[in-house]
Amino acid sequence: MCGIIGVLGNHEVAPLLVESLKRLEYRGYDSAGIATVNGGKLDRRRAVGKLVHLSDLLVHHPLAGHAGIGHTRWATHGAATENNAHPHASGPVTVVHNGIIENFRALREKLAPHGLLPSTDTDTETVAMLCAHYMAGGMDPRAAVQATVADLDGAFALLFLFSGEDDLMIAARKGSPLAIGHGDGEMFVGSDAIALAPMTDQITYLEEGDIAFVTRAGAEIIDACGAPARRAKQRIETQSTVIDKAGHKHFMTKEIHEQPVVMAEALARYAPNGMPVFPDALDFTRFDRVVMVACGTGFYSCLTAKYWFEQIARIPCEVDVASEFRYREPPIAPRTLAIFVSQSGETADTLAALRYATGRADMVLSLVNVGTSSIARESDLALAILAGIEVSVASTKAYTNQLTVLALLALHAARAKGSLDNGALRAHIEDLRAVPDLMRQTLALDSQIAAMAGTLAPAPSVLFLGRGVMFATALEAALKMKELSYIHAEAYASGELKHGPIALIDPSLPVVVIAPHDRLFDKTVSNMQEVMARHGRVHLITDAAGAKSARAGTAGVLELPAAGDLAAPILYALPAQLLAYHTAMAKGTDIDQPRNLAKSVTVE
């Protein structure tokens, strides 16, 4: 969602703020802004759209000061306008915010009789107004922020700066992450370690309910009860925060091409000797069922794993999107393992679902890409998916590494449940170990995939079909297509086509069928024939055996190397990603930062 940065420095901070915002832009890019305090006076610059517009503005209207805060916005309340851009100001207070203040309307009503009326459409401005109101009543900034935060409902990370105070920033965390960075006579606050990496590798993560009073001398932290709190300082590997495209045109292609390497790393960690290895606590003899919860792409990796847990380990598995699970309040039976999958580890709905399961499920396990994230910290056990930093808003390598770890987890479960003998287990792992090489071969098909994408780009809509576990792959392919190319895309289980969506079939609707030559292939081909009989335009993604038996009548076939059953959903994610990428390239959309999206979704 939004990105936050704050610097109490020894020289001009505007360039540092902009540099950090560049690293936070993946969180939102509707507008950006910075505020500084200079000679005791607050001033700010804000611009709509990407950070480059703010940088341009600063060239002509520079902002001086050694203390400042900055923000990159993913709009929730109010359109993406300069007036709604952060930092928001009221009297001596300016503030940046990530999250949602749910009771902002009630607070506005409380403030109106005091002559404090909103001038923006945002919930955030109310925070500045409330704090300014408390200061007008005689409170100092520290007391005013404490009183303000006590009045707020919702989830937020807040960072305040005050006129007349060039050695004070106040940070508050409830529901959205914040980290303090320690420098040499300088102090920093940021949404994450990535933002702080150019300035420091010494980080303190705030806990839920913490308020931090930050001066150049250090940070004083109080907890949710107002008691002084000690929070550990950690050294962050700066390598893990390096952000560069390594010669690629986009982060997305770089990350797509990293998949063979990061998948091999996950295999080396969780199957070092050809057998699954997980912490002892993950003892599947304790569990009779699995519940899996995630959002977006993570949900599709869970849906894939459902097939694996049920078919291979013979464990009933329920899968839900976090935003439904959290309010559905499902009963959780005894002996349940609850698994939460999140690349960022900060997704608000997934975190809330995890909190619901805590104390109800026998164990709360998370699969995350950010080991210091809230979801990792609140789980009984967190497994790193080891994908490395993912910058492109559309998830690629995190998805395939989620699948890799989930596949190994299903095999680990199968071993504990006795549903697979060691020979079969080893064969599955050998199949998985072959995938990095198969991925390289698949990446070499780039120009064929680009050609297929060229025929999809003019279409108003694309339909993806898959059967069995490949249904989940089709769903992920459709998600990638819509978020990158803005083309409407849907996915159906191919057997479901005849129950309604077949009415859509005509020559203008490209139908992409994702079907390795597995035990369900012939059934999928029958559905494909139903499409072609109605002059539907079918693009088939399959392997050599599949191509041989089903090429006739298609508009095109992409032939992938043959992969084992467990390996196929991982391998087939790559053409799905590249198809969306090349379609988006043909349409000229913003690949790494598609419109309306953000990488880390910390609001409901």
Q: Which is nearer to ligand F6R, 259 or 342 (CB)?
A: 342
- Show Cβ contacts of residue 563 under 8 Å, excluding neighbours closer than 6 positions: 431, 434, 435, 438, 516, 543, 570, 571, 572
Closest CB 597 distance from ligand F6R, rounded Å: 8
Is residue 2 flagged as an active site residue?
yes
* # residues near ligand F6R by CB under 6 A: 14
Question: Which 256-295 positions form the footprint of ligand F6R (CB under 6 A)?
Answer: 295
Residue in 2, 131, 295, 302 annotated catalytic: 2
CB of 584 vs ligand F6R, minimal distance in Å: 12
CB 196 within 8 A of CB 16: no
The pattern of x and - marking residues 207 through 226 that bind ligand F6R according to CB under 6 A reads: --------------------
Please state the separation of Cα 163 from the chain's center in Å: 35
Q: Tell me, what DSSP letter sits at residue 409?
A: H
Which residue's CB is nearer to ligand F6R, number 347 or number 404? Answer: 347
Cα distances from 491 to residues 218, 335, 383, 478, 522, in angstroms, run: 53, 34, 30, 6, 19
The catalytic residue among 254, 306, 480, 599 is 599
**85 in Cβ contact with 140 (< 8 Å):** no
Between 344 and 379, name the residue whose CB sits nearer to ligand F6R: 344
- What's the closest the beta carbon of residue 388 comes to ligand F6R, in angstroms? 14
Site string (572-601) toward ligand F6R, x via CB under 6 A: -----------------------------x
CA distance to 41, 255, 385, 438, 565, per residue, from 261 (Å):
51, 10, 13, 12, 21
- Select 160 or 356, whichever has its Cβ closest to ligand F6R: 356
Alpha-carbon torsion, ordered 520, 521, 522, 524, to 10 deg: 90
CB of 368 to ligand F6R, least distance (A): 8
Nearer to ligand F6R, 212 or 398 (CB): 398
Q: Are 6 and 214 in contact (CB under 8 A)?
A: yes
CA distances from 86 to 125, 154, 279, 344 (A): 9, 18, 44, 23
Between 48 and 352, CB nearer to ligand F6R = 352
Please list every residue from 294 through 313 that binds ligand F6R, using CB under 6 A: 295-298
Determine the Cα–Cα distance for residues 165 and 197; give it in Å rounded to an integer.
Answer: 26
Is-catalytic flag, 254? no
Residue with tokens 């596949």: 407
Question: What b/e string do you get for 115-150 counting C-beta neighbours within 10 Å, with b at 16 or more?
Answer: ebebebebbbbbbbbbbbbbbeeebebeebbbbbbe
Q: Compute the least distance from the CB of residue 297 to ligand F6R, in Å.
A: 3
Q: Give dist(CA 376, CA 341) in Å, integer.
A: 10
Which residues ranging from 388 to 447 are in contact with ligand F6R (CB under 6 A)? 394-395
C-beta of residue 489 within 8 angstroms of C-beta of residue 462: yes
Residues 347-386 within binding reach of ligand F6R (CB under 6 A): 347, 350
471-510 footprint of ligand F6R as x/- string (CB under 6 A)? --------x---x---------------------------
Give dist(CA 206, CA 378) in Å, integer: 14
Q: Is 342 in the site for ligand F6R (CB under 6 A)?
A: yes
Minimum CB distance to ligand F6R smaller for 30 or for 483? 483
* Residue facing ligand F6R at closest CB distance: 296
Chain residues that interact with ligand F6R, rule: CB under 6 A: 295-298, 342-344, 347, 350, 394-395, 479, 483, 601
Known catalytic residues are 2, 599
